[in-house]
């Protein structure tokens, strides 16, 4: 038998009557790290310490709702129609990153608007922190033995239990660990955004646009490795189609706003509503 990465035997530990699920723990840890790093960047940009955590109390739940909605709406509808309660079982996996970003952005915008804080400045501060959170969160897929790629005999192939193998792949034991590929790519995206931000003092949404563009490139080739069922549009997996559109939008934005500099004031000295 060739070398391989073993999968966890279980993804939940019971502390008495309380189940501690690894998937949820990875998502939560990613959010905490993103808030901690984001707070440091926000303060460095002239914002108030602790403000990122305040925004996160609304943005994170909104992001989870958006991520789950995206997954449910782009998955097998017959399953959720016959088992509607399963739509609420987030701990079993199933969070779409595009819905998460949209929901989180909407929640953040609502809070920022009340405080008169420019949304694009805040998005730029969080831009390299979000892929770090995604990298940590991806390990939830590892514990759930889900969203892996095609069969492989490479020494870093991921061994998947028979019960978790898709139909037609029961005779294969090891698969591409796409969760690890994406986690590494996400960390690379974070490094790229940090470097570019220091090099060119990115502002007015350009750091966030760079994050979106770079992430979409990685999502494209990683998605091509996956063998799980997925909706398709024009013969292309929906996530790839979405990534392509967002990549073009992000690159176009970077081109249009090139050389636009940074915002001078990112947070008013007092929390005065923007419409006051």
Predicted TM-score of the model (pTM): 0.88
The answer to the question of residue 82 being in a domain is yes
Q: Give residue 67's Cα distance to chain centre.
A: 9
Q: What pLDDT is stored for residue 241 in this prediction?
A: 87
φ, ψ of residue 261 to 5 degrees: the values are: 75, -170
How many whole angstroms separate alpha carbon 22 and alpha carbon 99? 22
How many whole angstroms separate alpha carbon 228 and alpha carbon 21? 22
14, containing H or E segment = strand 12-15
Phi-psi region of 201 (alpha: psi -120 to 50; beta: other; left: phi over 0): left
Q: What pLDDT is stored for residue 96 in this prediction?
A: 81
Nearest to 258 by CA among 209, 210, 206, 212: 206
Tokens 């034991």 label which residue?
Answer: 173
pLDDT digits (tens, 9 = 90+) for 82-114: 666 766 666 666 678 888 999 999 999 999 999
How many whole angstroms separate alpha carbon 211 and alpha carbon 189? 6
pLDDT more than 70, % of the chain:
89
CB distance 170 to 231 below 8 Å: no
How many whole angstroms separate alpha carbon 260 and alpha carbon 205? 10
Domains of the chain: total:
1
Which runs of consecutive H residues, i.e. helices, occur in 1-154?
Answer: 22-44, 51-73, 77-82, 97-115, 119-126, 129-137, 139-144
Q: Has residue 76 got a pLDDT over 80? A: no
The answer to the question of residue 74 being in a domain is yes
Where does the pLDDT of residue 18 fall: very low under 50, low under 70, confident under 90, or very high at 90 and above?
A: confident
Residue 20, helix vs strand vs coil = strand
pLDDT more than 90, % of the chain:
61
Q: Has residue 118 got a pLDDT over 80? A: yes
How many whole angstroms separate alpha carbon 53 and alpha carbon 31? 10
Q: What pLDDT is stored for residue 276 in this prediction?
A: 43
The answer to the question of residue 65 being in a domain is yes
Question: Is 2 or 173 the better-scoring residue by pLDDT?
Answer: 173
* Domain span including residue 32: 12-139+152-256
φ, ψ of residue 192 to 5 degrees: the values are: -65, -45
The answer to the question of residue 261 being in a domain is no
How many whole angstroms separate alpha carbon 49 and alpha carbon 202? 21
The answer to the question of residue 169 being in a domain is yes
The answer to the question of residue 224 being in a domain is yes
Picking from 2-16, 60-74, 194-208, which range would have the lowest pLDDT averaged per residue? 2-16
Which residue(s) pair with 212 in the sheet? none
How many whole angstroms separate alpha carbon 130 and alpha carbon 125? 10
The answer to the question of residue 196 being in a domain is yes
CB distance 12 to 89 below 8 Å: no
Which residue(s) pair with 174 in the sheet? 159
User: In Å, how far are 21, 45, 77, 192 from 99, measured between CA atoms?
Assistant: 22, 28, 17, 24
The answer to the question of residue 275 being in a domain is no
pLDDT digits (tens, 9 = 90+) for 19-58: 778 888 999 999 999 999 999 999 999 999 999 999 999 9
- Please, what is the average pLDDT of the chain? 88
Q: What pLDDT is stored for residue 275 in this prediction?
A: 52
pLDDT digits (tens, 9 = 90+) for 127-184: 999 999 999 999 999 999 988 999 999 999 999 999 999 989 999 999 999 999 999 9
């Amino acid at each position: 038998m060739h070398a391989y990465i073993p999968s966890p035997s279980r993804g939940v530990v019971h502390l008495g009557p309380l189940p501690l699920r690894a998937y949820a723990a990875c998502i939560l840890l990613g959010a905490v790290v993103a808030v901690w790093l984001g707070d440091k960047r926000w303060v460095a940009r002239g914002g108030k310490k602790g403000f990122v955590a305040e925004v996160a109390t609304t943005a994170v739940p909104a992001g989870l709702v958006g991520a789950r909605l995206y997954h449910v709406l782009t998955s097998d509808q017959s399953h959720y129609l016959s088992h509607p309660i399963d739509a609420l079982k987030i701990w079993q996996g199933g969070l779409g990153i595009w819905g998460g970003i949209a929901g989180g952005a909407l929640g953040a915008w609502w809070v920022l608007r009340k405080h008169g804080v420019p949304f694009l400045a805040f998005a730029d501060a969080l831009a390299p922190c979000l892929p770090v959170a995604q990298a940590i969160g991806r390990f939830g897929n590892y514990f759930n033995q889900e969203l892996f790629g095609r069969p492989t005999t490479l020494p870093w192939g991921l061994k998947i239990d028979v019960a978790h193998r898709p139909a037609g792949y029961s005779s294969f034991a090891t698969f591409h660990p796409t969760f690890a590929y994406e986690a590494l790519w996400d960390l690379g995206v974070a490094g790229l955004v940090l470097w570019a931000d220091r090099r060119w003092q990115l502002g007015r949404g350009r750091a966030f646009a760079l994050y979106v563009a770079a992430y979409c490139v990685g999502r494209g080739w990683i998605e091509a490795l996956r063998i799980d069922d997925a909706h398709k549009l024009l013969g292309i997996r929906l996530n790839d189609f979405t990534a392509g559109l967002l990549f073009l939008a992000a690159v176009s934005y970077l081109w249009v706003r090139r050389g636009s500099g940074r915002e001078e004031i990112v947070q008013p000295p007092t929390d005065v509503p923007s419409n006051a």
